[in-house]
Amino acid sequence: MRRPPLPVRDGLNPSRIRLPDEGPPTVLEYLVERFAADATRVREKVDAGEVVDGDGVVVTVGTPFVPQGWVFLYRDPAPEPRVPFEIDILHRDDDLLVVDKPHFLATMPRGLHVVESALVRLRRDLGLPDLSPIHRLDRVTAGVLIFSLRPANRGAYQTLFAKRKVTKYYEAVAPFRPDVELPTVVESRIVKERGTPTAQQVAGEPNARTWVELLAVRGDRGLYGLHPATGKVHQLRLHMNSLGLPIVGDNFYPTLLDTDRQDYSDPLQLLAKRIEFVDPLSGGHRRFDSRRSLARWPAASAPSFAPPD
């Protein structure tokens, strides 16, 4: 799909709608039927010339319905409570913006989190309409997140992730169990069905691999280093749980809990600590480190001991 014919507005991309094979005589009639609850606003947007077709031609009251045609318009986002944490900028150059994402902030608009996403916040705050994430972090995971500043070079960086040429390192707080032999490699097949919040490990050829090491111990908890070789959804949470070491603050694994989305009191103790790669444009080595620490493993806390080699 080519670039949308409408620009980013107030940090948000326009919505694109594919017309079905059959419909009423006009595009407006179709939109009013599809978005019946917002019919008044749809008509207002058409009257204001804010709805266009795939070629950028303004849709009017009489624009005929074209099967499999494209329509672009700006949707009005629902009110969202502000996530009370800020994004820290780690690095910026002509091509990349690297940030330290807080817990509870989505990477990009999705579901109930549209305006309150790192992408929309940064576009608005920094005046960067072309900003786009090169990869993603779960909403509840904090740490290093990389964005592209220039569309022309975005694909080169995204290819690094697709071809697994990026070294990612995470840290997590989880129970300490002396009976779990570490370091170890966890391999499994992870699948996630559309419409379900959790992923599953199933029988079959592994598609996810993580090296897990124990870094330090404080009482009944440990600090773990996680080195994913793949990037499947919820991979680190599933692999830690499969070892009998569920990450502290995880409301998905081992049990899906009904947690208030505005309850910020117990963040998932998982941090994307470091990303490294060879820059596809300059050929130079790149390394970006999070400055954040995990709340359940503060830097100045009770003494800890490293596990034996």
- Both 99 and 159 in one domain: the answer is yes
Span 283-296, average pLDDT: 97
- Both 68 and 132 in one domain: the answer is no
The model's pTM is: 0.89
Compute φ and ψ for 92, nearest 5 degrees: -150, 135
In sequence order, what are the beta bridge partners of 189?
202
Residue type, 61: V
- With respect to residue 221, please indicate whether it lies within any of the assigned structural domains: yes
- With respect to residue 3, please indicate whether it lies within any of the assigned structural domains: no
- pLDDT attached to residue 258: 87
Question: What is the residue-averaged pLDDT of the chain?
Answer: 94
- Both 150 and 109 in one domain: the answer is yes
Per-residue pLDDT of 140-187, as tens digits, reads: 999 999 999 999 999 999 999 999 999 999 999 999 999 999 999 999
Structure tokens at 71: 């329509």
How far apart are the C-alpha atoms of 107 and 243, rounded to whole Å? 28
- Both 35 and 150 in one domain: the answer is no
We report the CATH number of the domain holding residue 209 as 3.30.2350.10
Task: Find the angle CA(111)-CA(240)-CA(180) to the nearest 5 degrees.
Answer: 170
Span 202-218, average pLDDT: 97
- With respect to residue 297, please indicate whether it lies within any of the assigned structural domains: no
DSSP output for 234-274: THHHHHHHHTT-PPTT-SSSSS-----TT--SS---EEEEE
- Both 127 and 245 in one domain: the answer is yes
- Both 61 and 127 in one domain: the answer is no
- pLDDT attached to residue 309: 57
- Both 240 and 281 in one domain: the answer is yes
Residue 308, pLDDT above cutoff 90: no
- pLDDT attached to residue 42: 96
How far apart are the C-alpha atoms of 252 and 250, rounded to whole Å? 6
Residue 17, pLDDT above cutoff 70: yes
- Both 267 and 164 in one domain: the answer is yes
- pLDDT attached to residue 3: 76
Q: How far is CA 178 from CA 211, 217, 238, 243, in A?
A: 18, 10, 20, 12
Reduced DSSP (H G I as helix, E B as strand, rest coil) percent helix, strand, coil of the chain, to 5: 15, 30, 55
- Both 276 and 189 in one domain: the answer is yes
Domains in the chain, number: 2
* Ramachandran class of 133: left when φ > 0, alpha when ψ lies in -120 to 50, beta otherwise: beta
Lowest-confidence pick of 56-60, 85-89, 256-260, 282-286: 256-260
- Both 105 and 199 in one domain: the answer is yes
Q: Among 242, 246, 87, 227, which Cα is nearest to 174's?
A: 246
- Both 126 and 257 in one domain: the answer is yes
Residue 27, pLDDT above cutoff 70: yes
